Amino acid sequence: MKVISAVVVCVILLAGCSAEPHNPAVDQEDWAQMFDGKTLNGWTPKIRGYAYGDNFAETFSVKDGSIHVSYDGYDTFNERFGHLFYVNPYSFYKMAVEYRFLGEQAPDGPGWAYRNSGIMIHSPPGETMLIDQDFPISIEVQLLGGNGTEERSNSNLCTPGTNVVMDGELVTQHCVQSSSKTYHGDDWVRAEIVVLGDSLISHLLDGEVVLSYTHPQVGGGSVNQYDPEMKIDGQPLADGYISLQSESHPIEFRKVEILNLRGCTNPDAINFKSYYVASDPAACVFQ
């Protein structure tokens, strides 16, 4: 694990691992905003029981500069799990969301879904989900809030239709707890993820790594009513789509941003960045 640890330090701190001096411009992080603060442009909902693109009861909306996930138009939740898919797939990146839970859980929402949401990564396109499929086959960075008294770790791992490797062993249990503290109340929380293709994924809270694992791959259960052609067990998950989850408790996201870690690694190019960890020679631009 020494090699992995070195990679984690280099990528997460994004300070570069070279002893050579850098032009400050090549170290400047080019975060891209996935949410424009005004619309759901670039995002498409898939809610269980409804077609891809059908935003049933305005489950996902924009209010006061935030993406709101709410259930005002629901009579009961009725296991209508939803996911809001971003338009572009990614492979090597760092992503961050700022979120908070609000209000009361929807009627008949599952007990485990109290103050529960998630960021789904390495997913197939949202349009491949069947009408009654509950979750995308993906890796879930589970976002959780406390109830004010009991301890509850945050930024856990859950694996609908997937498995990962930890300490050299294949992990087949559905959820793995992180080492984080409990986040009670309605304060904004910044959660980050570092994703290195199909090699390493790390979850961060308050800038600290709370969980890491390797070799995400298709396999396992905890996903229903899926297209069997989309679930090839053992297939490595090197890239995929990102979605924000709707699991019956209202939540809002005021920031969703991404830092691509794949790009031009040629120092002679004008768009070279020192923090890229995956090379894309076709992206290089020269004067």
Query: Is residue 53, in this structure, part of any structural domain at all?
Result: yes
Query: Is residue 250, in this structure, part of any structural domain at all?
Result: yes
Q: What is the pLDDT of residues 29-68, one digit of tens each?
A: 999 999 999 999 999 999 999 999 999 999 999 999 999 9
Query: Is residue 187, in this structure, part of any structural domain at all?
Result: yes
What is the predicted pLDDT for the residue at 3? Answer: 42
Write out the two tokens for 67: 């993406």
Whether the Cβ atoms of residue 193 and residue 204 lie closer than 8 Å to each other:
yes
Query: Is residue 6, in this structure, part of any structural domain at all?
Result: no
What is the mean predicted confidence (pLDDT) over 12-20? 50
- Under the phi-then-psi rule, with left for phi > 0, alpha for psi from -120 to 50, and beta for the rest, what region is 271? alpha
Q: Residue 55, Cα to own-chain centre: how many angstroms?
A: 20
- Under the phi-then-psi rule, with left for phi > 0, alpha for psi from -120 to 50, and beta for the rest, what region is 46? beta
Number of structural domains in the chain = 1
Write out the two tokens for 161: 């239709």
**pLDDT interval class at 1 (50, 70, 90):** very low
Whether the Cβ atoms of residue 156 and residue 182 lie closer than 8 Å to each other:
no
Residue with tokens 């009361």: 104
What is the mean predicted confidence (pLDDT) over 8-23? 52
What is the predicted pLDDT for the residue at 240? Answer: 98
Alpha-carbon dihedral 267, 268, 271, 272, rounded to 10 degrees: -10
Residues of the chain with pLDDT > 90: what percent? Answer: 90
What are φ and ψ of residue 46, in 5° steps? -135, 110
Q: Give the structural domain span for 202.
A: 37-261
Nearest alpha-carbon partner for 107 in 68, 138, 79, 148: 79
Query: Is residue 18, in this structure, part of any structural domain at all?
Result: no
Write out the two tokens for 48: 């269980």
What is the predicted pLDDT for the residue at 25? Answer: 86
Kind of pairing between the strands at 208-218 and 66-69: unpaired
Which residue type occupies 89? P
**pLDDT interval class at 2 (50, 70, 90):** very low
Query: Is residue 160, in this structure, part of any structural domain at all?
Result: yes
pLDDT mean across residues, the chain:
93
CATH code of 162's domain: 2.60.120.560
Counted residue by residue, the chain has a size of 287
**pLDDT interval class at 4 (50, 70, 90):** very low
For residues 181 and 195, give the distance between their C-alpha atoms in angstroms, rounded to a whole number.
22
**pLDDT interval class at 9 (50, 70, 90):** very low
Q: What is the pLDDT of residues 76-88, one digit of tens each?
A: 999 999 999 999 9
Q: Residue 176, Cα to own-chain centre: how many angstroms?
A: 15
Query: Is residue 90, in this structure, part of any structural domain at all?
Result: yes
Query: Is residue 266, in this structure, part of any structural domain at all?
Result: no
Q: Which residues pair with 146 in a beta bridge?
A: none
